[in-house]
Amino acid sequence: MAATANVALATSPGGGDNHPVPDTALAKPRPRHGALGRVLHVDLGERRSWVEDVEEQVYRQFLGGYGLGAWLMWKHFPAGTDPLAPEACFAICSGLLTGTGTPFSGRIQIVGKSPLTGTWADSNSGGSVASHLRKAGYDALVVRGKAAEPTLLVIRDGDVTFEPAGALWGEQIPMVFDDLRKRFGGKRDVGVSAIGPAGERQAKIASVMNDRYHAFGRQGFGAIYGSKNLKAIVVHGSGEVPLADPKAWKAISKRITDEYRSSIGVFMRFFVWMAKPKRWLGWMYRLFPRRGMKITAPVAAMRQLWSDRGTTGAVSLSIENGDAPVKNWKGVGSRDFPLRSKSYKLDGAEVDKYVTKKLSCGDCPMPCKGIVKVKDKGLSDVRRPDYETLCGFGAAVLNDDLELVVACHDACNRYGMDAVSSSSTLAWACEAVERGLLTPAELDGVDLKWGNGEAMLALTIKMGEGSGCGAWLGQGVQAASAHLGKGSEAFAVHVHGSEPAYHDPRFSSLMGVNYIADPTPGRHTTGTASWNETFGAGFSLPNAVPKSEVKVAWKGSKNKGQAQAHYSNAHQAMNGLGLCMFTMLTGNLPWLELTRAVTGWDMTDRDLLECGERIQNLRAAFNWREGLRPADFKAHPRMMGEGDGLLTAGPLRGVRVALPVLRDDYFAHMHWSPTSGKLSRARAEHLGIGELLAGHLDGQE
């Protein structure tokens, strides 16, 4: 059934009520560049759609991506609503540069409220959905309501239709994408965002898969799709995003591409060789964190390493030096999963043996992903496991069988399930078995033990299917420990329901600040100065603040709150532009030049940084509006080196981290109250968002 889009919404940048008016009653907008100013709204229950016109000032304040998404959710998400209720909404948003062909802009962003944590939720994925959405004439898509039956939402330029998806309901991700490709075409023709069986049954750790291989993970967005009977979104756009200065944009894009594709000399190749972990260098990897020596490499070498292996290049090194938590956060990599005999089996060099071709997010001159084939397991056309999956189904559960790690990773993608949450839950289950709290009978006969990869795979499949014990394991570690009880909650490692990523705060304290201070708890991809803390990574907006404010030592606490504030704000500016975060490790992109060429706006580095600060504040304000407070976000003792998390061996021996103190320092530099979390009125006025956040600022109850 075709839906009409004959109603627009008159809006103001400060929010307020929506007033439906005929399209003809709206003044014809002046030509825009970069920002289209159009958001498509869809109500699945009512099977209708309409367009909201958004003033350019909103984009100047919040850019696109998470920024536009936060503005839309602040305006349209009913406060206090269950994220799985029909009236709840979510949005898929394009970054300001996405859809233009800008290098490293092939990203898709989604925002809403998390069913896993009850907090603000967002996720950033590779794929073509956002590019197609922009070419169809929209900067974002807002979805609300619940369809009466399993549904495909199909957008072809200005045409919106709702098509039955009953035949696909219950199918795994590969079959779903094979079917949709036959019906609608490949990723050059359409962008597709779909769920698997885990999302259909509303598992709280369910993910959404984009263009088959890329995921909206960590937040439970798959459950949101499932709650709305939404099997997939299919988008085709045939238009173009207008650019303010096409000639300048083309020159900048060519310069970036040429830099990333240029060959490197013998000297740099030596650095690349040295950067790839060596079994005989374990002593050195352990020495660096003990001495607080930053792990650095020339930019050209980092580019080559990233192109060769992506995040797999850091796996065994991170296990050995303590960055990757081991054995449910109580183990020591160099003792329990040593480089010489165990972790090397999961490193990029071993993964490379199974890679059949490269995989790109889109518009990328440095594709860092891949497709693997594991003949003995009957697996082909599988997205290569990356760092988090290799550490999760490997070191966290002491499994050194790479082929079984790949199989677990494939099961997560087939069922549409987050790999970090799944593997963290299995690590907790291993410890529960070890303590005698969980028996094989309670696990449907599966003999789960540390290192038993076959058992991990069997339980991962059960979690994806929701069968037997998988029904409660598949809700994440907080829910699983509450189900089992028996004191197992004490070693369920999470922050407000979200399993932290596999980067240990005892190794990088500012990563821990991110876990408890960002509006999406437990996340590692939301902006942190930890990359400068440990790798010496530069700041992406070099003219925005003095260099002294964005450089920190690995050890100690000096200047860390200020640096964390700057890096988190810059990261949100990057999300608003729609660029890849890994370019912050491989050589910063000219954000300002690109923004000017695409939009024509006369901006500075400082302006972009303040855009990011507005985005971060609106993400945080969503939580405070939902009744949450900073005290609700607590790190597990093991994450801080407390209790049995105080390690007695390895490079992190004796390390304690005062995360609450570091968080308060970060809050102070963000102008947030340490008790309410709310932004100060003076800073809100400086940022021009005082009216937007009226009633939700510090001192306003």
CB-based contact 639:513 (threshold 8 Å): no
Q: Which residues of 171-200 are buried (b: 16+ CB within 10 A; e: fewer)?
A: bbbbebbebbbeebeebeebbbbbbbbbbb
Pairing of strands 208-210, 214-216: antiparallel
CB-based contact 374:366 (threshold 8 Å): no
CB-based contact 113:119 (threshold 8 Å): yes
Query: ∠242-246-249 over CA atoms, to 5°?
Result: 110
Set out the domains of the chain in order of their start, with CATH numbers: 2-236 (3.60.9.10), 263-416 (1.10.569), 509-687 (1.10.599.10)
Name which of 390, 643, 635 is nearest 500 in CA terms: 635
Runs of H (alpha helix) within 185-323: 197-200, 221-227, 246-261, 266-275, 282-291, 299-309, 315-321
CA–CA dist 258, 8 (Å, integer): 43
CB-based contact 684:693 (threshold 8 Å): yes
CA–CA dist 603, 399 (Å, integer): 50
Name which of 266, 221, 314 is nearest 520 in CA terms: 221
CA–CA dist 529, 552 (Å, integer): 8
**The token pair that represents 354 in the structure block:** 């199974």
CB atoms within 10 A of CB 72: 26
CA–CA dist 110, 40 (Å, integer): 14
**The token pair that represents 65 in the structure block:** 């991506």
**Distant-in-sequence, close-in-space partners of 669: CB < 8 Å, separation ≥ 6:** 561, 562, 564, 565
The C-alpha torsion from 497 through 501 and 502 to 507, rounded to 10°, is -100
For position 11, what pLDDT does the model report? 35
Residue indicated by tokens 């173009």: 240
For position 30, what pLDDT does the model report? 58
- Beta-ladder partners of 379: 374
Q: What Å distances lie between residue 620 and 322, 483, 519, 528, CA to CA? A: 30, 30, 5, 15
For position 7, what pLDDT does the model report? 35
CB-based contact 217:123 (threshold 8 Å): yes
CA–CA dist 324, 82 (Å, integer): 34
Q: What is the pLDDT of residues 567-577, one digit of tens each?
A: 999 999 999 99
Q: Counting Cβ atoms within 10 Å, is residue 56 exposed (0-12), middle (13-18) or buried (19+)?
A: middle
**CA quadruple 301, 307, 310, 313: dihedral sign:** negative
- The amino acid occupying position 696 is H
Angle between the N-to-C axes of helices 419-434 and 477-484, in degrees from 0 to 180, rounded to the nearest 10: 30
DSSP per-residue codes, 547-604: GGGS---SSS-TTHHHHHHHHHHHHHHHHHHT--GGGGTS----HHHHHHHHH-----
State the DSSP code for 244.
S
CB-based contact 73:91 (threshold 8 Å): yes
**The token pair that represents 23 in the structure block:** 């399209």
Q: Tally DSSP H helices, then E strands, for the chain.
A: 26, 18
For position 4, what pLDDT does the model report? 31
**The token pair that represents 679 in the structure block:** 């932004």
Q: What is the pLDDT of residues 549-601, one digit of tens each?
A: 999 999 899 999 999 999 999 999 999 999 999 888 887 899 999 999 999 99
CB-based contact 62:612 (threshold 8 Å): no
Backbone angles phi, psi at 532, to 5 degrees: -80, -35
CB-based contact 42:141 (threshold 8 Å): yes
First-residue to last-residue Cα distance in the chain: 46
Name which of 596, 627, 636, 633 is nearest 696 in CA terms: 627
For position 26, what pLDDT does the model report? 40
For position 501, what pLDDT does the model report? 97
Pairing of strands 159-164, 191-194: unpaired
- The amino acid occupying position 503 is H
CB-based contact 69:91 (threshold 8 Å): yes
For position 699, what pLDDT does the model report? 82
CA–CA dist 450, 465 (Å, integer): 23
Residue indicated by tokens 């540390």: 450
Name which of 413, 362, 425 is nearest 385 in CA terms: 413
CB-based contact 292:571 (threshold 8 Å): no
CA–CA dist 362, 360 (Å, integer): 5
CB-based contact 113:519 (threshold 8 Å): no
Model pTM score: 0.94
CB-based contact 497:421 (threshold 8 Å): no
Q: Within the chain, which residues score under 50 in pLDDT? A: 1-27
Runs of H (alpha helix) within 384-445: 387-392, 402-415, 419-434
DSSP, collapsed to helix, strand or coil, labels residue 38 as: strand
In total, the chain counts a number of residues equal to 701
For position 464, what pLDDT does the model report? 98
